[in-house]
Amino acid sequence: MVDPRHMRDARYRRGRAAQSNAPSRFDLAREAFDDGWAEEDVPLAPARTEVTCETPRSVITRNTSPDLSFDRAINPYRGCEHGCIYCFARPTHAYLGLSPGLDFETRLVAKEGAADVLAGELRKPSYRPAVIALGTGTDPYQPLERDRGLTREVLKVLAEAQHPVAIVTKGALIERDIDILGPMAAAGLVRVGLSLTTLDAGLARAMEPRCPSPARRLRAIERLSAAGIPVRVMTSPIVPGLTDHEAEALLKAAAGAGAVAASWVMLRLPREVAPLFREWLEAYAPDRAGRVMARVREMHGGQDYDARWGHRMRGEGHYAQIIAARWKRAARALGLDTALAPLRTDLFRRPERAGDQLTLF
């Protein structure tokens, strides 16, 4: 357990968004104790990232959510070093007995051998191809990917199988894989959703501490687009009172960089994300914290969050309607309100295995 005294010290939280590391909802209560070392006696270094490995039995997860456009996804990692304070995936760390707070940003899990497991799943006679979403729970191009390369290995398997994939990321590291994504895009097998939440570099650093800067993400859109890879800019989440005034500017900047479509989601605060976000607000923007949360609750019937299908992504009420109308008008004016062409599934071929007999035709 992280000593609560450390969590109160900004030196320990440097480069992180979470202000606390409370036990998860599945964990037993834990209590720090005094071991005799005075706080001033211990040199305090920033919290370090720890990585453990697991060998997954399967890597394709399924969902039946009517709010999503896909029914299957792959996440090569658990936890995310990008550390976005609003990340709706934070509560998943509770299933590991870890905190959705600082643990989510610093105690990561790499799914070693994910590509081999995926190839085995695609070989099954019962498997039927449909678009796989890559990076729905944690970012597949977070800093850890630079060393581990699990996302690239997964993409190699999908490219060999000519399997369609939709990638969601904030990471400029995706440019490294243009050599794979370019040919896949030419065959109608890939599209990229790149998240751009604000053009304010200071706000981005506080809210998404280890993500590429807004300007760097715009350059990534340019380079992907230049390689023929269709990019949808995701102006998500829109944060009431912090980023809502930027909707039009975000869309204009993304269109100028080459994005061909756009989408948006309102701020979501499920489970442990709500108290973590409130703590961050009080630390970063105490003068606006009350107004931000008032808007959030206005859209969710007085609560921090309402998980109903068809409601959780956008909220309801006058404020939500105004944001939706503004966004729609700007997207239409910029030509970003078009739907991307469906990805192809008819090219799929099961990955070959060493020793497999080749077909004659």
The pLDDT of residue 310: 77
Evaluate the CA torsion angle 203, 205, 206, 208 in order and state its sign: positive
44 with 51: CB under 8 angstroms? no
DSSP, collapsed to helix, strand or coil, labels residue 5 as: helix
* Per-residue confidence in pLDDT tens, the chain, 361 aa: 454 545 555 666 677 888 888 776 776 555 555 555 555 555 556 778 999 999 999 999 998 888 778 889 999 999 999 999 999 999 999 999 999 999 999 999 999 999 999 999 999 999 999 999 999 889 999 999 999 999 999 999 999 999 999 999 999 999 999 999 999 999 999 999 999 999 999 999 999 999 999 999 999 999 999 999 999 999 999 999 999 999 999 999 999 999 999 999 999 999 999 999 999 999 999 999 999 999 999 999 999 999 888 788 899 999 999 999 999 999 999 999 998 999 999 999 999 886 665 554 4
Dist CA 285 CA 281 (whole Å): 5
The tokens of 271 are what? 């489970």
The pLDDT of residue 29: 53
Dist CA 115 CA 158 (whole Å): 9
> Backbone dihedral region of 317: left (phi > 0), alpha (psi from -120 to 50 degrees) or beta?
left
Residue 357 lies in a domain: no
Evaluate the CA torsion angle 124, 145, 271, 292 in order and state its sign: negative
The tokens of 281 are what? 């607000």
H-state helical runs in the chain: 4-8, 102-106, 114-123, 144-148, 150-161, 178-186, 201-207, 214-226, 247-257, 273-284, 289-299, 318-333
Torsion angle of C-alpha atoms 234, 237, 240, 246, degrees rounded to 10: -30
Q: Which structural domain range is residue 170 located in? A: 4-24+47-333
Nearest Cα neighbor of 68 from 302, 236, 313 is 313
* CATH code for the domain of 194: 3.80.30.30
The tokens of 253 are what? 């900047």
Residue 39 lies in a domain: no
Split into its structural domains, the chain has a count of 1
Dist CA 81 CA 143 (whole Å): 7
* Three-state helix/strand/coil letters over 132-148: EEECCCCCCCCCHHHHH
Residue 353 lies in a domain: no
Residue 36 lies in a domain: no
Instruction: Report DSSP state, residue 100.
Output: T
The pLDDT of residue 72: 96
The pLDDT of residue 121: 98
Residue 355 lies in a domain: no
The pLDDT of residue 358: 54
The pLDDT of residue 34: 54
Starting at the edge strand found earlier in the chain, the sheet holding 190-195 runs: 61-62, 72-74, 132-134, 165-169, 190-195, 231-234, 261-263
Residue 213 lies in a domain: yes
Q: What is the pTM of this model?
A: 0.90
The pLDDT of residue 67: 75
Dist CA 308 CA 143 (whole Å): 33
236 with 254: CB under 8 angstroms? no
Residue 38 lies in a domain: no
220 with 172: CB under 8 angstroms? yes
Dist CA 187 CA 261 (whole Å): 19
